[in-house]
Structure 1
Amino acid sequence: MSAMSNTMTYRGYAARIEYDDEDGIFVGHLAGIRDDVGFHAGNVEDLRAAFHEAVEDYLETCAKVGKEPQKAYSGQVMFRVDPEVHRRAALAAELSGKSLNQWAAEVLERATG
């Protein structure tokens, strides 16, 4: 966890991290899955270990009950935009010699760093 980030990643899973000032602990929850998987610790090193353990426990529990673990994201994104934005994006993609999909994927990659 960097000083500028409030997320951690492990084995393709991401966790949202918050600080609970009342209890003086860091609290994390796996993001992007329907199951509620949380963990906590008093310092960053222990928090990272608790996060890794939470992911491993989630995967083991899924295996025990015969459930396919939910992957955080499939890579397929569908969303609606204003028709004028669509036109400008399609034009920008064509002018750059790319498909709209390739162009949008690069723009999203740059925007999310």
Structure 2
Amino acid sequence: MADYLKHKDYLGSVDFSSEDGVLYGKVIGVNDLVTYEGTSVEELNKAFIDSVEDYLATCKEIDKEPNKFFKGVFNVRTSNEIHRELSMIAEKKKMKLNELVNKAFDFLVKNEDKVLN
């Protein structure tokens, strides 16, 4: 079971406030804070879809890119042992460490549900 909402290429978080008795969330991976809420799953899903559509329409109207920009560069912290093992695998395969890690990322993206469940 997924704990997120999906509409077009957009994902939305799902959270619950016991104090307010509402479900709520935000659209992930966009340039602005776009939120929604509802008192039922159906209401939350409709609010999410409406929020995505409204945001996309607003971005189009003001000629703004809706999707958050990612440079493709970030630091990954791991243990000394894992770093060493990855370096050795890369050497054996005659690859750069960065190339090896990108292959692992590609595999994860294509197999997310199998690997992370």
- Tell me the TM-score normalized by structure 2: 0.70
* Counterpart position of 1:14: 11
| Displacement of 1:111 | 4.6
The amino acid across from 2:29 in the alignment is G
* Counterpart position of 2:104: 103
- SS of 1:35's equivalent? coil
Q: How many residues align?
A: 109
* Counterpart position of 1:69: 66
* Counterpart position of 1:47: 44
Deviates more, 1:11-20 or 1:37-46: 11-20
Give % identity: 30
The amino acid across from 2:74 in the alignment is M
- Tell me the TM-score normalized by structure 1: 0.72
- Matched-pair contact (CA < 8 Å) for 2:25–2:35: yes
Distance in 2 separating the partners of 1:111 and 1:77: 23
- Matched-pair contact (CA < 8 Å) for 2:30–2:66: no
Q: Relative to 1, partners in 2 of residues 1:104 and 1:96: Cα closer, same or farther, differing over 3 Å?
A: farther
RMSD: 3.0
- For structure 2, the 5+ residue unaligned runs are none
The amino acid across from 1:92 in the alignment is I
